[in-house]
Structure formats: structure tokens, C-alpha cells
Chains A and B, each alone.
Chain A
């Protein structure tokens, strides 16, 4: 965190120039470049795929069941005769959208609560952290499955639920980052000037802990994608016939001894996206001077 301050405080730049600086630092290393390229490819694919998908993703055709890849069906067809290529290029849209908004919710509540706890300290901090610890010790998968099975698998349930369960780890990170700056002179003098807690959070603390929280949010996006795909795989995520990689893998798994293409295509899609986000998040952390590798994935 010490390094990141230097990057930002050397000379005043517009925020766009700063952002471009960070991106070019990220792309200067091979792993960061590959990560960014994969992520951008997936985002463009997710936005544009409905326009160039060759077939209808929900068109069931029993006469075309489990066809091997051919010039007509590039990735073959699945057990219901649907085109695997069409379903694969459309399969990341739901997951990307839900986890993107989920991460923003996680960042907002986790970051703000963490900063607040770090700032006020005392009894409130103790109580909140005990509750956060308790939530951390309940496996996310049990909690998510319970919520989804009782409230349904709609977007309105999934986004807040994922946002909540992936935000509790951010509370800790934001709180620790706040503790690092709280004793510094500029905070003490802002308090002495009589600024309100809200003003101190917004003007003094936030700019200094922003990097740590953003990096955490980027990592959490990839974990949330992993969690959401696991839910889909278990049949508690996207409802059919919407194409989704997790669900496609789970459906095609039973027949993979002779129709391997129907399971390989979504595996490549999902793995490449998660690896892309991970490499990007790592490069992002390095460009901001934050070392995440000694932290546990909680």
C-alpha cells in the first residue's frame, strides 16, 4: 500500500490518464497482457454474440441429437440437438452480468462497513467483526443453496445474495486498510478540525484505501464467478433453457463418454474467463503495488 501512494501522489494527473497508466503497466507483463486480452475478448463476445449466433439456442431438434463437430455445427450438437457453438458463445452472458453487479454490491457494502468499523473502533467494531467472523465460518455454498432453494433462482435473488456473501471478506480487508491510515497525521488533523465521520471517510480515508478495496473486488469477481458457476452446475443457478456454462457442463457430463464436445466447449469457455479475470486481477494488484499472494482466499 505504501508503493501505491507513490504512484498516485507523484504528480497530479487526470483520473483518465491515471487509469491508462495502470492499464499500460498491467499490459507490460505477459501474464497481465494475456489476462486483459482474454477478459476483453469475453466481454466483447458477451455483448455481441446475440447478433452473430448461427442458430437458435433453445431450438430442440431430436433428429440432430449428439452430432459430432462438423462444418455445419462447429462444436457439434448436444443431447437435445441444440447447437453447442451457439450455446457456448451465449453461455457467459448471464454469469458475467450477475457476478459483475454482485461484485459491485459486495464492494459497496463490504468496503463501507469495513471503513466505518476501522474508523469508529470500540464496541461496535467488536460486535460487527464477531458477526462477520461467524458468517465467514458458514460455508458459502450451504448458505447460497439454502437461500436460492427457498427464494428461487431469479436475478433479483442471486445478485443481492452473492453480493452479500462475497462482501463479508471485503469488510476485513477494508478495515485492515483503514487501520493502516487511521493513525496518520492528516486523519488526526481532520478530526481536530472538527470534520464529521462521513467527511473523514469520504475525503481522507477512501482515497487511501481505495486501491486495496478495488483489488479485493477484482479478485472477488473471479471467485463469485466460480461460485455462481458451481451453483449452476448443481442446478441451483440459471434456469434452463437459458444457456449457461455451468449448467451445460452438468447436463452434458452424463454423456461425455461419446459426446465429449458438448462438455469440452463450455469447459473451455468458463475456464478461460476465470483465468482471464484472475490474471487481470493479479496484474491490477501488482500495478497498484499490492501483494495479495500471502492472503488466504476468504
Chain B
């Protein structure tokens, strides 16, 4: 696949824990199981949901997210179970 083809496609999926403060993404898949998966689902981490990383805690972990209009915090370990597709802010604005 050439670089040009890549540019025309959606960004590569990554794990939520890899996002930086200020970045947004949509949820692609939960790789967690058991109680954590259940909790993430009911808190709104479902396919297609949009979220934004608000900030990191002063010691670097956990992270604060905005999802469905409310704020929640998540340990980075837990963020590493959530596959997301980043929303490229600059690309969006250039299209608009």
C-alpha cells in the first residue's frame, strides 16, 4: 500500500491509552473481558461512540475522558483494552 493510499483512508486504529490529551477518537472494539467489559459497555464505550482525552492526572495516570457529554477517568491499563480510531482534528478542519 502506498503512502497516497494511506492518506486517503481512515487513520490506523490504536489503543485509547496511546492518545494524547486533546485528541478525539471513536470506539472500534473492546478487548477487555468480564467485569471491566461490562462496566465499559454500560458507561457508553460502544462501537462508534466518540470520546476525547481531556487530560492526564498529575502523576500521568489515570486519564480523564469526555464521553456522551460526561467526564470519567480510566486507568491507562484499562485504556489499553479499548481499540479506537483517532479523529484527525486537522484533517477535519481542512475538509470543512
Whether both chains belong to one complex is answered with no
B interface, CB within 8 angstroms of A: none
